[in-house]
Structure 1
Amino acid sequence: MSELNNLENALEQVLELATKQGATADVIASSSESFSLKSDQGELSEYKVTASQVIGVRVIKDEHVAISYSESLEPESLAQMVNQALTNASYTKKDAFQKIRAEGLTLRTKQPEIYQQDNATPEQKIELALSLERQIREKPLAKSAPYNGYSESSSILLLGNTLGTRCSHQERTLSCYTAALIDHNDKQAMHVAASVARTFDGLEADRVIRDAYNMAEALLEGEPIATGQYSVIFEQDALNEVLGAFGSCFSGESAKRGINPWREKVGQQVASPLLTFKDVAYMPGGHAIKAWDGEGFATGDTSLIEDGKLVGLLHNSATAAHFGVTPTANAGRSAKGTLGVTSRHDVIGAGKSSEAEVTAGEYLELVELQGVHSGADAISGEFSFGASGFLCRDGKRIKPVRGITVAGNFYTMIKEIDAVGNTVVPNYDGHFFSPLIRFGRLNIAGK
């Protein structure tokens, strides 16, 4: 019997067991295989092959909700799992909003690009991992390449519930990465670069090597700049880090818990009129493509900010019921987790400014951030974290900058946007899409 059939049979058994005990339930079952390689000192330091499977149930009985999971698909383990969930539910507080609601849906992620056959040989993958380190070490100023590797994973994910909904999803992802450490004239700099793709041939190993070394070399002579206020352009992955630290402001779950500062601001201006922000289910080349959410509803696009106005939050069916709004099919739940809220592709809309207009005059380009999440307060919006980058003028890097601290308030920062570029591009892992954005003024502590 195939792995898929095993998961399907286990899922049906669990739903039948829950129904017999008078509960409604949804079940998530998954299996995954992964392969990873690491290179160190010209040899493989890791060659790892792993496989796992897990099945988890969320039961609701008399408005009491609980979860339980098992890594075994044996009938005895499944029965024990359901009994444990029902026992746990008897001790939980009632939750009138959390219900099994996706009725009679059959959904399958059909985009063929997310699961493609891999014809690369193990020898090719080993050579890639070794060559990442070797080519960095061959660079003139490189002291070492301390982190190098290749990984791939494939997974099957199923969801079913007692209302007849059945969903399936299958994907494969590959990645490679390297780090260049430069030690020259008693100064050190290191930069990590990575590539994520759906096929082995899609990995951009040459770019990864080039980006890691060139950025480390460019930052080597960096020094603090004068303390003051600067216009700032975040490199795309750095901007994604900042937005991630404050992502709870879009969450209906955090609003339900009373810790979302935008809970009462739907319909109000919260950002510059230049800013438009959406959660998008399907993006070409995206790596968060999935036909259904953690409750089994079909995913779609959700507008969050339009021309600076907050038009909605991300909701699962429970948070939507709490606020009396329409669900956005953004339920997040794993086999081992409780019901939450999650996004798919975070997309900032294109503006009207050319790259030359966004980069006109003097500004600070920030390419590396340190301690973003520990230095951010999602409720107040205050943040302070270390950064490296370049002082720039008219799109050209004037000098490297290191050893500075960036501070400000996120909710103020997004109101003070000077320009938004007219070209949207993906970040390295295909989850975040944005144009260049120039923020008017942030506090920089330097020398």
Structure 2
Amino acid sequence: MTELPDLVASVLDSTSGDEEVEAYAVHRISTTIQAGTDAEIRHVGRAETRGLGVRVIGNGRLGYASTADLNPAAIRLAVERARANAAASDVDEAQALPEAQALPAPPVTDGLEDLLHPALSDASLADKIALVEDLTRRVVSLDRRVSALDTAEYRDDQRTVAISSTRGVQVVHSAGYVELWSDALGEADHVRASDAAYQFGRTIAELDPEPLARDTVDRTLRLLGPRCSYRPGVPVVLDPDVVADLLTAIGKGLSGGAVSSGRTPFAAKIGTTVAAACVSLADDGRSPTSPMAAWYDDEGLPRRRTPLIEDGVLVGALHSTVTARAAGAAGSTGNARRASHKSVPRAAATSLVLEPTVSRTELLASLDEVIYIQQLSGSGSGINPVTGFVDVGGAGALLRRGEAVGRVQTLPIATTLMSFLRSVVAVGDDSYPVPLSSAAASTVLCGNELISPGR
């Protein structure tokens, strides 16, 4: 198959007039292995995707087309279709391609040298299956109250991207990662609970089933204790998984498209206080501990660390080239992302992270009694990034000096994203990438106002 740089270069050979043209090509390979109780392998899958997207902009009109057929005739047809789509679209003065930008000099690596480690391709399918089987056996052997698995899953992903444009962008970059997680089922005294834990790495050697199994079981057991009551006004601690749901919604509200259209509670609030003074939030597109880490964004601009909130004050938003022009911002923040080669880039978060203020151990040990919220119910529809309203249920445990003493019934949480940010008292140092989110989240201590009284 023709190499990706040659594919994107061939698109530029067919440009005409003053039109701006960008070609985006991707080659992606992923493996998924799933197992259940007794190490029963339920699924082994391998997916490989190759595709090309063409963006054409002429006189403020955008056209886009894509193809999974990478022969020369299909590529020429994609260019013609993108050009025809541009001719039929409305004028949008914000539409433009970015000028090429070099990586910071001297190069800022931040540990990104091994984003695609050679050892990732060296691992055999048998090794990956054995890893999942080992994890399942460990989870169900640690405590008799946790005797079944919903699923244990291994996944790896390797991706190479090439981007070339008439504005001088010419980049090729690769990344890969591995993930391992387990979701356990527990039962005690006629109470049932389920919870999961997760690991991330760049090679299979970085995954360790033993601590992952222990974490999975501990999280499940925390939800199986005796039902507890708690005194009024007790502080609330949010688990990183819960914080990730909230940060993901905040990231959507701080994306350039939402900001420029006013469809966010953070619209027109740059320079104002939106959070407690202890809150500093950034999006770090270069964080090597994130599956989303990359040298470049999906327009070919260098990724960077973008401050969003500093000491409680909103200082920025996440932009692609188009959203920056629409919002009148200085320029892209390197946050252009695509769902695939079939879509145009849009501004989105990559790895949102809160600046820690205390260690997680100190945070929990310093409190006589806290409500620890470990899960949210209804977060898919109950957290609205457009209005900022949060209306969900929380499940967790009562902790005394960091130790679980019993479970708490589902707690009603009716608040707003901004009220959550203003309620933060401390941020732990235990951030990790949370699956299905755009956050590397930490344990967070909040005031009791998050819990809705009388509901």
| Same fold by TM-score greater than 0.5 | yes
CA distance in 1, matches of 2:358, 2:49: 48
Which residue does the alignment assign to 2:64? 67
Counterparts of residues 365-444 of structure 1 (less than 5 Å): 365-421=372-428, 423=429, 425-428=431-434, 432-433=439-440, 435-440=442-447, 441-444=449-452
Cα offset, 1:213, TM superposition: 1.7
Which residue does the alignment assign to 1:344? 350
CA distance in 1, matches of 2:442, 2:39: 39
Cα offset, 1:21, TM superposition: 6.1
Counterparts of residues 192-203 of structure 1 (less than 5 Å): 192-203=196-207
Cα offset, 1:308, TM superposition: 0.7
Distance 1:414 1:106, change over 3 A: closer
Distance 1:22 1:227, change over 3 A: farther
Cα offset, 1:92, TM superposition: 1.2
- Match for residue 47 of structure 1 among 31, 44, 48: 44
Distance 1:73 1:165, change over 3 A: same
Letter matched to residue 336 of structure 2 = A
Cα offset, 1:187, TM superposition: 2.3
Residue by residue, what CA displacement relative to the aligned partner does 1:275-317 show, whole Å, maximum 9, x if unpaired?
A: 1111223335333321222222222222111111111111122
CA distance in 2, matches of 1:228, 1:414: 21
Cα offset, 1:225, TM superposition: 4.6
Residue by residue, what CA displacement relative to the aligned partner does 1:236-279 show, whole Å, maximum 9, x if unpaired?
A: 12101112123222112111122022221111111111111112
Distance 1:446 1:298, change over 3 A: same
Residue by residue, what CA displacement relative to the aligned partner does 1:397-424 show, whole Å, maximum 9, x if unpaired?
A: 2322243322222212211223344x35
CA distance in 2, matches of 1:355, 1:135: 26
CA distance in 1, matches of 2:454, 2:172: 52
CA distance in 2, matches of 1:273, 1:435: 17
CA distance in 2, matches of 1:205, 1:316: 39
Counterparts of residues 309-328 of structure 1 (less than 5 Å): 309-327=313-331, 328=333
Which residue does the alignment assign to 1:117? 118
Greater shift, 303-312 or 95-104, is seen at 95-104
Distance 1:420 1:103, change over 3 A: closer
- 2:252 aligned counterpart, secondary structure: helix
Which residue does the alignment assign to 1:37? 33
- 1:246 aligned counterpart, secondary structure: helix
- 1:132 aligned counterpart, secondary structure: helix
Any stretches of 5+ residues in structure 1 without a counterpart? none
Greater shift, 117-126 or 196-205, is seen at 117-126
Greater shift, 75-84 or 31-40, is seen at 31-40
Letter matched to residue 365 of structure 1 = Y
Distance 1:90 1:294, change over 3 A: same
CA distance in 1, matches of 2:137, 2:359: 41
Letter matched to residue 54 of structure 2 = V
CA distance in 1, matches of 2:39, 2:278: 49
CA RMSD of aligned residues (A): 2.7
- 1:146 aligned counterpart, secondary structure: strand
Distance 1:417 1:183, change over 3 A: closer
Which residue does the alignment assign to 1:137? 140
Cα offset, 1:365, TM superposition: 1.0
CA distance in 2, matches of 1:354, 1:50: 39
- Match for residue 168 of structure 1 among 145, 166, 172: 172
Greater shift, 61-70 or 409-418, is seen at 409-418
Which residue does the alignment assign to 2:54? 57
Are residues 1:126 and 2:133 paired?
no
- 2:56 aligned counterpart, secondary structure: strand
Greater shift, 372-381 or 303-312, is seen at 372-381
- How many aligned residue pairs are there? 442
Distance 1:180 1:94, change over 3 A: same
Identity percentage over the alignment?
23
Contact 2:224 2:406 in 1 (8 A): no
- 2:382 aligned counterpart, secondary structure: coil
Residue by residue, what CA displacement relative to the aligned partner does 1:122-154 show, whole Å, maximum 9, x if unpaired?
A: 222111122222233334223421212222121
Distance 1:267 1:169, change over 3 A: same
Distance 1:92 1:226, change over 3 A: farther
Contact 2:56 2:62 in 1 (8 A): yes
- 2:258 aligned counterpart, secondary structure: helix
Greater shift, 412-421 or 67-76, is seen at 412-421
Are residues 1:220 and 2:224 paired?
yes
Contact 1:102 1:295 in 2 (8 A): no
CA distance in 1, matches of 2:218, 2:9: 54
Q: How high is the TM-score relative to the length of structure 1?
A: 0.90
Contact 1:274 1:417 in 2 (8 A): yes
Distance 1:42 1:379, change over 3 A: closer
Contact 1:245 1:373 in 2 (8 A): no
Distance 1:390 1:268, change over 3 A: same
Cα offset, 1:339, TM superposition: 3.0
CA distance in 2, matches of 1:190, 1:348: 27
Letter matched to residue 422 of structure 2 = K
CA distance in 1, matches of 2:108, 2:23: 18
CA distance in 1, matches of 2:69, 2:23: 14
Distance 1:436 1:211, change over 3 A: closer
Cα offset, 1:218, TM superposition: 2.5
- 2:380 aligned counterpart, secondary structure: coil
